[in-house]
A and B are shown apart, each in its own frame.
Chain A
Amino acid sequence: MESVFYSRFERHAHGEGLKGQSTHYCSGCGHGLVHKYLADAIDELGVQDRTIAISPVGCAVFMYYYLDVGNSQAAHGRAPAVALGHKVANPDSVVVSYQGDGDLASIGLAEIIQAAQMGIPLSIIFVNNAIYGMTGGQMAPTTLMEQRTTTTPTGRSRITGEPMRMAETIGQLNGPVYVERVALFDNKQRVRARKAIKKAIRVQVENRGLGFVEVLSECPTHLHMSPQDAEQWVKQNMVPVFPLGVKKDLDVEPWFELDNPSFNPQDVATVIGSSSERSDKIVEQFPSHIDAEDVSIKFAGAGGDGAQTIAMLTTRTAIKAGYDSTHIPSYGPESRGGTSYADVHISTTEVLSPASPKPHVLVVFNPQSLEKFGPTVRADGIVLYDSTVIQQPPTLDSSIATYGIPFTQIAVDLGKAMVKNTVALGATVAATKIFPVERFVATMEEALQNNCALLPINREAFSRGMEAFADLAQT
């Protein structure tokens, strides 16, 4: 006979326990009831094949012994994260995350809050019995004030904080569509609990959202009570602290849908931005007038100066020209305004060390950078600096050609201070003759293809930079 419960429970594979069809739960424990309502809901909704049950850590760690569904067993507190992983892997799966109070309301708070706030359809079953059962009766975040546990031997006091009300906490988040707290202590509560568990799964099956059911449950063993007394204890002591009822119930249209991922090579090519191999590849002359094998350049300034952008353009140009090239940024922790250096290497065969501790060419945007890196430039090297902000350049080795060009002033005159880096790049290309100008312009056009409005001013800035260098070189 088909059933959501296995016909026998594997824990008895070694012949242990009571019987092959008994649960491992203590007499009077609420977990068995919740399992039954869950199994019935899965059965009644016809989703047994699609269901994945996430077993938690705690007494329900062996939930997978019982439910004949896809089973995944999670680390302590992480069941909602595991559930999320399963759900996004297969949006058609029906994922039930099942947790106790230590698991969900203590170690796993971050995971449950995130899953709940995301609101992706999941069914969360939260069994609250006000104590850690499996580890032997320690204080849970839901333990009542003055309740004695093995870690609150004289009763929970104020210093340990007050009980966590999870249904209310989850209910005030935007994500979930349905949140209810139910109990198991009498017939009426059990009917409600059964209905609530089914509803929490139905909102998922219907792609409407996340359902969360908190079940106040009995742990007669660690309450040191008979099952009947435990039921009364929950009714009289827990319910006043954890009020029963619906905390949230939104009428939401089905919304959750994920298409199957694409593995179509054309789609992939478009998305990653690759283009088919060109046959008209032209290898440019290597700039061996700078170095026979490996040209090293450093661009340096403050964050926002645009050093990284022109370093990247240089690397792209070099690779398109047929050589190996690397770009390495180095910047301070600030998003803007900190130091920002870029090291570029261009090599005939393979860039070895990508750092530029001794560059052939240095391009700087501020006095600090010039002071710091000027002395590291190799003999016969080239230094270009922004003379708008650097009035008095330091004295460098006499073999080094030093050019002060007002990058910023030229850019401001063009109406956009931002393009000072393009001015600098134009000047650099003119000063170094590293690769033909058209190569750089082509790279720039490609880089700005999605931002065409910026292209004319950048072209202009590049030319002005070249002209400024030419003027300077003439004098």
Chain B
Amino acid sequence: MVTARTDKKARPKPFLFPQFCKACGRCIEACPKNCIHMGHDIDPLSGLTPVVVDLEGCNGCGLCIDACPEPYGLMPAEGAIDMSLMDPATLFGPRQTTAPKPEPIPDTQVPLPDFEPMILKGTHAAAIGAILAGCRHVFGYPITPSTEGAELMAKLLPQLDGVFVQAVSEVATVNIMYGCGGAGLRCATFTSSPGFSLMLEGISYMIGAELPGVFFNIMRGGPGLGNIGPEQGDIKLLCRGLGHGNTHAIVLAPSTPQEMLDLTMLAFDLSFEYRNPVVVAADGYLGQMTGRVKLPKTLTQPGIPEWAVYGDRMHRGNLITSIYIIEADLEIHNLRILEKYDRMIKTEQRADCFRCEDADWLIVACNTPARMAKGAVQELRDQGIKAGLFRPISLWPFPIRHLTPLLDRARGLIVVEAGPGQLEDEVRLALSHAGVMSSPPIEQVRRYGGMLPQQQEIVDKVSALAEA
């Protein structure tokens, strides 16, 4: 009898626990027989003056029950009254759902035949990586230079009974992901810098609500509308500014079409492992770059995690939310998130070192500029200059653990980037947090506005340093 639904045939008369009445009086005007009156006695439990029901003239029409806004206000007096409502022990405490305790449905790895390597552009490699990672839901808003990924998904997903929805904006996109990720499914979007800016609000919500989701940010030239050339000007945003509040996400930086696929698959796993968004950050050049891509040995058939709000009996008791209205609760929530970030920092640092072991000059670069840098390392080695490439694969957490052992020997760090020093800031912050007091001098090769640092520029810079 807990709902106040009126069974018209039974025509039960109303019943009221006075402490649940807020004295709004809607029932008073609702009653055609004038049975209900505003009370005069203050209820000691609520401090309000509940209405008084006089059942003398009541014909059980139920209109008062339909007019009462409180779920446990006026209710039909049929059968036994649930006296547990009067039991002080039931008044406070967490929600008590009648749904079962959810169990996780685990992912399964399905073997794939040996495939010939494919020839794919970066965005397509990411899309196919997502499909192999078990993603069947992609949402997005077209923005160059990321659109090919979304276009391929729009073409392929329906053939696998998946869903591509072109959202009304990036703001809507990230919130559709919030819903789909909240349902426990693997979903993704393809976007580029201005679009990513628009998604930040939603990303903060996803982090707060601890939802997975993979974001491909094919970075382009900025600020503002900028251009569609390749840039790395979102590194600050990705590592330090994922919306409001205490936010971080693992940021993976591929530098080949092969890594676009491999890191995409990793991104989905990490996103679910940590219940947190993961960003695959590429530049416009890499998104367009076509190359050879080997396929993995297995594909993922995703299960449904126990925390999902899937819309079935098993998961009915779950809640997805980022609101913790009590400050002490939100502090605890933040501490839990911080503990999660700590785990990411400890276990998810990734880097690729090329000829670093005996390097005097450590070039630090990621994405496409890392390829120019690798070419430069070869050229410098040919000239007898001991250069090496330190390539962060995780931009956040920065792979400082891989960098520090190389510092003793290095005479200089040269940060090469297509942008205004945001990667260098990450290097400097990581060195500082790691307590490295005397790092080698840090030099730069930077280009801006969609221009990429060229191999020759890097060679010239390092040669000049080596000669000095």
**A interface, CB within 8 angstroms of B:** 1-15, 18-23, 25-33, 35-36, 39-40, 43-44, 48-52, 54-55, 61-62, 64-66, 68-75, 78, 81-90, 92-95, 110-111, 113-114, 118, 186-187, 190-191, 194, 220, 226-228, 231, 258-263, 265, 267-269, 271-278, 312, 315-316, 319, 324-329, 333, 351-355, 357
* List of B residues within 8 angstroms of A70 by Cβ: 309-311, 315-316, 318
B71 within 8 Å of A (CB atoms): yes
B396 within 8 A of A: no
- Bound together, the chains give a CA A353 to CA B374 distance in angstroms of 8
Asked if residues A277 and B292 are in contact (CB atoms below 8 Å), the reply is no
Q: Is B432 an interface residue (CB 8 A)?
A: no
A325 to chain B: which residues have CB within 8 Å? Answer: 291-292
Q: In whole angstroms, how far apart are the Cα atoms of A269 and B159 in the complex? A: 11
Q: Counting CB contacts under 8 A, is B288 at the interface?
A: yes
Shortest beta-carbon distance from B104 to chain A in Å: 16
Question: Are B97 and A272 touching (Cβ within 8 A)?
Answer: no
B93's closest neighbor in chain A, by CB?
A13
Evaluate contact between A82 and B97: CB separation under 8 angstroms: no
Q: Which one of B166-174, B246-254, B338-346, B404-412 is at the interface?
A: B166-174
* Pairwise interchain contact B323-A61, C-beta atoms closer than 8 A: yes
**In the bound complex, do residue B181 and residue A85 qualify as a contact, i.e. CB atoms below 8 Å apart?**
yes
User: Quick one: given A68-B316, A272-B131, A325-B292, are A231 and B309 in contact (CB under 8 Å)?
Assistant: no
Residue from B66, B91, B115, B325 in contact with A276 in the complex, judged by beta carbons closer than 8 Å: B115
**Could you give 20 example pairs across A and B, Cβ below 8 Å?**
A8-B92, A14-B326, A28-B69, A62-B325, A64-B319, A72-B321, A74-B178, A75-B205, A85-B180, A88-B176, A90-B310, A93-B312, A190-B67, A228-B28, A265-B299, A271-B160, A274-B118, A319-B291, A324-B292, A352-B375
B455 interfacial by beta-carbon distance below 8 Å: yes
Known interface pairs A78-B175, A187-B30; A277-B114 also in contact (CB < 8 Å): yes
Q: In whole angstroms, how far apart are the Cα atoms of A65 and B92 in the complex?
A: 12
B311 pairs with A86, CB closer than 8 A: yes
- Interface segment, one of B182-190, B262-270, B273-281, B437-445: B182-190
Q: Closest CB of chain B to A76's CB: distance in Å?
A: 9
- Beta-carbon contact of A50 and B72 below 8 Å: no
Q: List B contacts of A52 (CB < 8 A).
A: 183, 309, 311
CB contacts (< 8 Å) of B321 on chain A: these are 55, 64, 71-73
Could you tell me the distance between the alpha carbons of A215 and B417 in the complex, rounded to whole angstroms?
55
Asked if A271 and B97 make an inter-chain contact with CB atoms under 8 angstroms apart, the answer reads no
Q: With a CB–CB cut-off of 8 A, which chain A residues contact B97? A: 6, 68
B94-108 at interface with A (beta carbon < 8 Å):
94-99
- Sample of 18 further A-B pairs with CB below 8 A, known A85-B177, A93-B312: A6-B95, A10-B93, A10-B95, A31-B69, A32-B69, A55-B321, A70-B310, A75-B175, A82-B176, A88-B137, A88-B176, A261-B136, A276-B113, A276-B114, A326-B290, A327-B289, A353-B454, A357-B456
Q: Is the CB of B454 within 8 A of A355?
A: yes
B1-39: CB near A (< 8 Å → 1, else 0) gives 111110000000000000110111110111000000000
Cβ-defined contact, A263 with B91, below 8 A = no
How many whole Å from A397's CB to the nearest CB in chain B? 19
A85 B178 Cβ-Cβ under 8 A: yes
Complexed CA–CA distance, A8 and B93 (Å): 8
Selected contact of B3 from candidates A5, A194, A277, CB within 8 Å:
A5
B214 in the interface, Cβ–Cβ < 8 Å?
A: no
Q: How far does the alpha carbon of A259 sit from the alpha carbon of B160 in the complex, in Å?
A: 9
In the bound assembly, the distance between CA atoms of A84 and B180 in angstroms comes to 8
Task: Tell whether A92 pairs with B311 under 8 Å between CB atoms, given A36-B69, A265-B110, A324-B291.
Answer: yes
**Chain A residues, Cβ within 8 Å of B93:** 8, 10, 12-13, 20
Q: Which of B82-90, B231-239, B460-468 contacts A (4 or more CB under 8 A)?
A: B82-90
Interface pair B118/A273, CB less than 8 Å apart:
yes
User: Which residues of A sit under 8 angstroms from B353, Cβ to Cβ?
Assistant: none
Contact between A18 and B116, CB atoms less than 8 A apart: no
**B429 to chain A: closest CB distance in Å?**
28
- Please judge, given known A-B contacts A326-B290, A353-B371, whether A83 and B156 are in contact too, CB under 8 Å: no
Interface centre among A26, A78, A262, A351 (most CB of B within 10 A): A78
Interface size class of B (residues with CB under 8 A): 35 or more
Minimum CB–CB distance for A68 against chain B, Å: 5
Q: Closest B-chain residue to A281, C-beta based?
A: B116
Q: Are B25 and A227 in contact (CB under 8 A)?
A: yes
**Count, A-B residue pairs, CB within 8 A:** 374
Is B228 among interface residues, defined by CB-CB distance under 8 A?
Answer: yes
| Contact across chains for B2 and A5 when beta carbons are under 8 A apart | yes
Q: Main SS of chain A's interface residues? A: mixed
Contacting residues, chain B, for A73 (C-beta < 8 A): 209, 319-323
Residue pair B172, A111 in contact (C-beta under 8 Å): yes
Most buried by B among A12, A20, A275, A329: A20
- Give B contacts to A, CB under 8 Å: 1-5, 19-20, 22-26, 28-30, 45-48, 63, 66-72, 82, 84-85, 90-99, 110-119, 121, 128, 131-132, 134, 136-137, 139, 156, 159-163, 165, 167-169, 171-173, 175-185, 187, 201-202, 205, 209, 228, 257, 285, 288-292, 295, 299-302, 309-313, 315-323, 325-326, 368, 371-372, 374-375, 378, 452, 454-456
A65 to B63, CA, bound (A): 26
Known: A71-B309, A228-B25. A85 touches B452 (CB 8 A): no
Contact residues in A for B309 (Cβ distance below 8 Å): 52, 70-72, 86
Q: How far is the CB of A363 from chain B (nearest CB, A)?
A: 17
- Residues of B within 8 Å of A68, CB to CB, are 95, 97-99, 316-317
Across the interface, B2 reaches (CB within 8 A) one of A3, A9, A29, A260, namely: A3
CA A194 – CA B315 in complex, angstroms? 27
Docked pose: A44 CA to B8 CA in angstroms: 14
- Of all chain B residues, the one with the shortest Cβ separation from A294 is B375
State which of A4, A55, A357 has its C-beta within 8 Å of the C-beta of B454: A357
Chain B residues with CB below 8 A from A113, complex form: 168
User: Measured between alpha carbons, how far is A260 from B310 in the docked complex, in Å?
Assistant: 14
A40-B3 contact, Cβ under 8 Å, with A71-B319, A261-B162: yes
CA gap between A5 and B82 in the complex, in Å = 14
Beyond A52-B311, A73-B322, A352-B374, whether A268 also contacts B316 by CB under 8 A is no
Q: Which residues of A contact B173 (CB under 8 A)?
A: 81
Q: Provided the pairs A263-B299, A325-B291 are in contact, do residues A7 and B2 lie with their beta carbons within 8 angstroms?
A: yes
Name the contact of A319 in the complex, choosing from B3, B72, B292, B312 (C-beta under 8 A). B292
Chain B residue at minimal CB-CB distance from A273: B118
Q: Which residues of B contact A7 (CB under 8 A)?
A: 2, 84, 90, 96
A81–B69 contact, CB under 8 A?
no
A51 engages B311 (CB within 8 Å): yes
